Structure 1
Amino acid sequence: MTIELRRVIADDWATWRPVRLAALADAPEAFGSTLADWRDAPEHRWRARLSLPGAVDLLAVDGGRVVGMASGVPDADDPARAELVSMWVAPEARGHGLAAQLVDAVARTVATGGAHRLELSVMPDNHRARRTYERAGFTTTDIPGDRLADGRHETVMRRDLTAERTLLAYERGVDRYAERTDDHRAGLVDDLLALVPAGAHVLELGSGPGRDADALEAAGLRVDRTDGTTAFVDRLRAAGHDARVLDVRQVDWGGPYDAVFANAVLLHVDRAVMGTVLARARHAVRPGGVLAATVKHGDGDGWSDRKLDDPRWFTYWTEDALAAAAGVAGWADVVVRDTTRSGAEERWITVTARRPEEDEL
């Protein structure tokens, strides 16, 4: 499937209407509204639905055919909260990751509008929907949702938007970041060169301005440049490089590669999901493939506006904790060491590891 996500407004009500009606007919138990409520609704009502202040309304289009929809609506009483509503994927389009794609797009947009968390309500016995939302980063809360006719309550689920807010800081500060990053290649480049043969194919996470990729390519390696920030990918492409947007939360990173290189990238990954991300890195390399990454040393986590003058979220690691996380994720030959440069204001640690040769997924 080749999906295009289109944002619609009130003037697009005639395009939105049949999709909304199809959703209500297909999954009446999933929505607070009913098909009868909307089947004969006049134009002004449809326009009003697509004119909610600050809302984002998306349609997923596959080859000219609409196969999904989703909306994000800010909470008028709580600027930090937004709600995911009108979520639906056509039966023939399910199982291809479209729901997560829609959710991610809504999450990015509401985060841009200032939301810190995205919530939704789901019927308590709709286990399939709950699993879908869990795969999209939602967790169940203990907040009771709307009361149902049988006395039960809808289940409220929540997705934290810390990652989206951090990526947004990079989107806003791409020029500032490039200006404040020196031209000297990272020491991690030499670490990787010592572990892979000439001509090795490397997946770089968080290529940013492209400094380290340039150094790796100059040393004879092939580098797939990626970044979670569209603005950096656009800069790389404008400079004549192939590059793609890759969020480390994506399930499929491509490959298999000879190595995954992540300089100052995994430090933005929440501790609770670091193991999953490290496992994805292992899946992305061939047996015998290598991981080389750096993170900031310390305990805990939190926001910092250093360098960009715009808050970004950081997770700090000790050597033992990072080594343990890599081992649990299936990496072997794990080496974690302090690589702080003399005179640096912050401490850094480097992890290198290798996927076992006999490791068949």
Structure 2
Amino acid sequence: MTIALRRVTADDWATWRPVRLAALTDAPEAFGSRLADWQDAPEARWRGRLSLPGAVDLLAIEHDRSPEQAPQRTPDPSPGRPVGMATGVPSAEDPAVAELTSMWVAPEARGHGIARRLIDAVARAMAEHGAARLELSVMPDNHRARRTYERAGFTLTDAPSDELPDGRHELVMVRELAAERTLIAYERGADRYAERTDDHRAGLVDDLLALVPTGSQVLELGSGPGRDADALEAAGLSVDRTDGAAAFVDRLRAAGHDARLLDVRDDDGPRDAGGCPTPWGGPYDAVFANAVLLHVDRDDTRPVLDRARRAVRPGGVLAATVKRGDGDGWSDRKLDDPRWFTYWTEDALAAVVTAAGWCGVTVRETTRPGADERWLTVTAHRPEED
């Protein structure tokens, strides 16, 4: 199944209409609107629904094959079949808040990560609009939806919500958009970041070279300008360059390197023989993450480290750096644009890496003399019997 997300406008009302009606038919209890309210709605009302100020309306389109796979004689591949939708709407009262609404995936298309892709796309769009958090309301007995939202980074709140006819109240869930806002900062400042990054390779390069032989396959998370990948390749390793910011991926490709977009929070993708998702590819001999995990929320760090473990072969290596300290917060150092950082102590970092299934975990402080920020380096390997 190949899924593409498409942003729609009022002019696409005829495409949006059957998807919305299918959602209201399939799950009438999940929406505030009723099928009867929209079934015979005129065109003007549908256009109005798709013209909310600042809103983003998305459709998930299923294609039998991607446009790249289409034969040369058919330059316009099939428009595909809509199998899901979602909307993000900025709050009129609080510019820091946006709401996720109209979330639905067709029953036959569930279980393929479509909901997560829609949610992430809405989160990114609302962060670009200036929102700091994304909220939603869900029925208290809709356990499947709650699990989906929890996996997508939402947490339950005790905020007051609408009262239902039976006296119950909807549940309000929220997702902080710190990660999206940080990625946006990198997108805007990729050139500035590259200019302000010195040419000296990170010490983590030498740490990895001491752990793997020449010819090893390495997955680099957060390649950025590509400085460390250049050093690893010069030492005889093969590097799969990835970054969560498209601006860095574009820079790497323009310089003649193979590079791909990869958000470390992404758990969608192919599965291995045991049925476990392997969205990062592999198996690699090592995962290299210099100054990347420090942007991952504390609660998301263990799942990210678990994905890293699944991306390497048994015995494969992890080499990563984070900032040393307590808590988390925003900083505009180096980029002059706020980025979110999670700080770690030695014990806490060792504990979360071990909990993710890595063994031989070593954490040490690697702050340079005279530096005004403190750093930790962690190395570990995947158990041979894993």
Superposed, 1:68-147 pairs within 5 Å as 68-147=84-163
Q: Does residue 274 of structure 1 match 2:301? A: yes
> Post-superposition shift, 1:84?
0.4
Q: Indicate whether 1:254 and 2:281 are aligned.
A: yes
Which residue of 285, 293, 300 corresponds with 2:320?
293
Cα deviation for residue 254 of structure 1 reads 1.7
SS in structure 2 opposite 1:173? helix
- Which amino acid letter does the alignment assign opposite residue 135 of structure 1? R
Partner of 2:76: none
Give a deviation string over 1:28-73, Cα, whole Å, max 9, x none: 1111111110011111111110110000000111121111110000
> How many angstroms does 1:218 deviate by?
1.2
Instruction: Return the structure number with greater strand share.
Output: 1
Q: Which moved more, 1:43-52 or 1:326-335?
A: 326-335
Which consecutive unaligned segments of at least 5 residues does structure 2 have?
64-79, 268-278
Alignment of 1:30-41 (within 5 A): 30-41=30-41
Partner Cα distance (2:2, 2:31) in 1: 27
What is the Cα deviation at residue 111 of structure 1? 0.3
Shift of 1:273: 2.1
Aligned to 1:11: 11
- State the number of aligned residues: 359
Partner SS state of residue 127, structure 2: helix
Deviation at 1:155, TM superposition (A): 0.9
Cα drift, residue 281 of structure 1: 1.2
Structure 1 residue 109: Cα displacement: 0.3
Structure 2 residue 53 is matched with structure 1 residue 50: no
1:168 corresponding residue in structure 2? 184
Structure 2-normalised TM-score? Answer: 0.91
What is the 5 A alignment of 1:145-156? 145-156=161-172
One-letter amino acid of the counterpart of residue 181, structure 1:
T
Q: Report the 3-state secondary structure (helix = DSSP H, G, I; strand = E; otherwise coil) of the residue aligned with 1:220.
A: coil
Moved more, 205-214 or 235-244: 235-244
Q: CA deviation at 1:134?
A: 1.0
Q: Distance in 2 between matches of 1:324 and 1:212?
A: 27
Give distance in 2, aligned partners of 1:219 and 1:212.
Answer: 11
Runs of 4+ in structure 1 displaced over 4 angstroms?
A: none
Quote how far apart the aligned CAs of 1:321 are: 1.7
1:81: how far off? 0.6
Structure 2 counterpart of 1:327, one-letter code: T
- Measured in 1, the distance between the counterparts of 2:149 and 2:343 equals 28
For 1:298 and 1:128, how far apart are their aligned partners in 2? 37
Compute the RMSD of aligned alpha carbons: 1.0
Counterpart of 2:160 in 1: which secondary structure?
Answer: strand
Query: What is the CA distance between 1:76 and its match in structure 2?
Result: 0.3
CA distance in 2, matches of 1:50, 1:206: 36
Deviates more, 1:318-327 or 1:350-359: 318-327
The one-letter code sitting in structure 2 at the alignment partner of 1:134 is E
1:308 has 2:335 as partner: yes
Q: Deviations over 1:138-158 (max 9, x none)?
A: 111112321001000011111
Among 246, 261, 269, the residue aligned to 1:230: 246
Deviates more, 1:246-255 or 1:192-201: 246-255
Amino acid at match of 1:5: L
The 2-side partners of 1:270 and 1:286 are apart by: 26
Q: Does 1:240 align with 2:256?
A: yes
Amino acid at match of 1:332: C
**What SS is found at the alignment partner of 2:89?**
strand
* Alignment equivalent of 1:66, drawn from 64, 82, 88: 82
Deviations 1:306-359 (A, max 9, x none): 000010011111222211221222211111111112222211111111111112
Q: For 1:339, give the aligned amino acid.
A: T
Letter of the structure 2 residue corresponding to residue 207 of structure 1: S
Matched, 1:329 2:345: no
Three-state SS of the structure 2 residue aligned to 1:79 is: coil
* Post-superposition CA distance 1:233-262 (Å, at most 9, x none): 111112222211111111222211111000
Q: Are residue 206 (structure 1) and residue 222 (structure 2) matched?
A: yes
